Amino acid sequence: MLTKLRGHHLICLNFFRGEGYSEDFIKNIYSVISKENVEIVAGPDDVCARCPYLKDNKCSNNDYTDEKILHQDREALRLLRLKPGEIIDWRMISAKLPGIMDKWKAQFCQDCGYLKVCFTG
């Protein structure tokens, strides 16, 4: 089975711990991460489809502007050496994380509202 994901979700979903905006949103993420293969997309993906902040195909969250999200996507794909249209499995993504996490954390995690969720026990 295949799911469609944007750049930063390729990294961030590896740390998902069952928290989110609503029950529907959380169930959707569990469905997304249960699929073996990922098609990389530019812009909104299968996670965004159930996000209450997706408006007119853009992120309308005050904490995460659409421009910031797109920048994160580009940087995630650069660090992972992937591009939209590629199909990859979760194991391959996870295997790339140790080599990029220091750079990712320094650039994006410090100001993220999910920091404590991702990196605490």
pLDDT in tens, 28-41: 989 999 999 999 99
Task: Specify the pTM.
Answer: 0.89
Residue with tokens 């904490």: 63
Work out the average pLDDT over 43-49.
Answer: 93
CA dihedral in degrees (21, 25, 27, 31; nearest 10)? -130
**Residues 8 and 45: beta-carbon distance below 8 Å:** no
Sheet holding 37-40, edge to edge: 2-5, 37-40, 87-89
pLDDT grade for 121, boundaries at 50, 70 and 90: very low
Residue 89 CB coordination number (10 Å): 13
**Residue 27 domain boundaries:** 2-118
Token pair recorded at residue 118:
């991702």
Number of domains the chain contains: 1
